[in-house]
Each structure stands twice: as C-alpha cells, then as structure tokens.
Amino acid sequence: RKEVEQDPGPFNVPEGATVAFNCTYSNSASQSFFWYRQDCRKEPKLLMSVYSSGNEDGRFTAQLNRASQYISLLIRDSKLSDSATYLCVVNGYTGGFKTIFGAGTRLFVKA
Amino acid sequence: ETGVTQSPTHLIKTRGQQVTLRCSSQSGHNTVSWYQQALGQGPQFIFQYYREEENGRGNFPPRFSGLQFPNYSSELNVNALELDDSALYLCASSFSATSGETQYFGPGTRLLVL
C-alpha cells in the first residue's frame, strides 16, 4: 500500500462543474497536509494548507479527517485555468523530516 | 516567481557518470529539500538540509548525497548514474524545517541518462 494515495484520474469536467479530489495517507503520526498544483512541465506550487477545521479560499475548499486519514479538495465553478495536476502532500517526522507527495490527479476543464 | 533557482536547466549524462545539481534558496529561507520526479509521478523526497545538516532522508541509496552551504544554497550529487535516474530534479526552500512550512519550488533540472 502506498503511503499517500490519490484518485488516479484523469478527471474531465465542463466549465462550471464542481470537482472533488480525494487522498488517503497511511501514517497516523503525520503532522501537516497540503494540496499543491502542478502545471504541465512546471514546478509544483502551493494551493492550500489543510486543517482539521477545514479551510476555504475562494472556489477551493480543503478538508482533513484525521480519524479516517483522509484529505479532500473541492473546486467549485471550475475554470479552464484550473486544468492542472493536483498533488496531495503529507509531512511528518519519522527519524527525521519526511514529506510524501501523492502521484497526483490530473484535471482537464473543457469549455 | 518563487525566487528559488536551479542550475543547470537540462543535462545529459551517460550511465556510470557523476552529476552535481545546484539550488539557490529563496532569500530568508534556511531549509532546502530535494526531490526526484519521474514522468507521470509525484515528486519523491530525496533529503532535506537545515542549517547545513541533513534533517531527513527518503528512500534513496547513498549514491545520492547533498550539501548545504552557509548561504543556504545546496547541491545534490548523484554518483554512478543509472538509466532510471533520468527525471526532473526539483529543489524547494522553506523558511524553516518545521513540517507545517510551505515549500517553494525551483523550476527543476531535467536529467537524461543515456
């Protein structure tokens, strides 16, 4: 079992749609959680940090469920510019700092 | 732009050779992490340096080694290159080594091993 697993994708959605990404992690001692966005042939960029209380930034909402070891990202009113790969990231300390990226879920938003 | 720079942008090596990749961290950041990203995969954590010391390491063999300098720039060295080492190598800097810090990535170095 992978330490961080994401929906395999790709997701193909029309503009205006709502899309949800899911991510599970295996290490219950994990401490910090993020969603990063990566455009084709570019570096990853932080989209949002994820907290147990949930957090929202415009059309984006992220949620963490520590009991189920599950992270989600919701994008409302999808735009063409949202087309990218979304990476789930889990950080912690296990004999030193460790960060694990999921394999990513590719999103295509079409007109 | 994040302010994190990497050099070179592209590199071609042959199997068995050695390579050194360089990263300059964003101003004010004392922590640098290195990643390997194969095509179609997420970045895989190689190691992290905090104030010139290795602060954590992923599942990479010892032929992957690194350094961090007093100005917090960093190098990744890979010895005895293998074909599977062909990938995008990313560095990321952060303000500190705490797990909750945002990482700011450089544009990466694309390495091809023939």
Q: A99, B102: Cβ pair inside 8 Å?
A: no
Give residue A82's pLDDT band: very low, low, confident or very high (50, 70, 90).
Answer: very high
Find, in chain B, the residue whose alpha carbon is nearest to that of A92.
B99
For residue A94, what pLDDT is reported?
79
**Residue A52 DSSP label:** T
**Per residue in A25-43, pLDDT tens?**
999 888 999 999 999 989 9
Nearest CA-CA partner of B30 in B76, B92, B108, B82: B92
- Amino acid letter, A20: A
Place B106 in a pLDDT band, splitting at 50, 70 and 90: very high
Q: Which of B42, B50, B54 sits opposite A101 (nearest CB)?
A: B42
**Nearest Cα to Cα of residue A47 among A15, A80, A21, A9:** A21
For an interface test with A, the pick among B45, B53, B93, B94 (most A C-beta atoms closer than 10 Å) comes out as B45
Residue B1 has pLDDT above 80, yes or no: no
Q: Which two tokens stand for residue A6?
A: 């994401």
The three-state (H, E, C) secondary structure of B24-46, written as one string: ECCCCCCEEEEEEECCCCCCEEE
pLDDT confidence of B86, banded at 50, 70, 90? very high
Pairwise CA distance, residues A35 & A88, whole Å: 5
User: DSSP labels for A74-111?
Assistant: EE-S--GGG-EEEEEEEEEESSSEEEEE---EEEEEE-
Confidence of residue B96 (pLDDT cuts 50, 70, 90): confident
Q: Which residue has the tokens 């995969």?
A: B41
- pLDDT tens-digit series, residues A41-68: 899 999 999 988 889 999 999 999 999 9
Chain A contact probe: residue of B48, B99, B105, B109 with most A CBs at under 10 A: B99
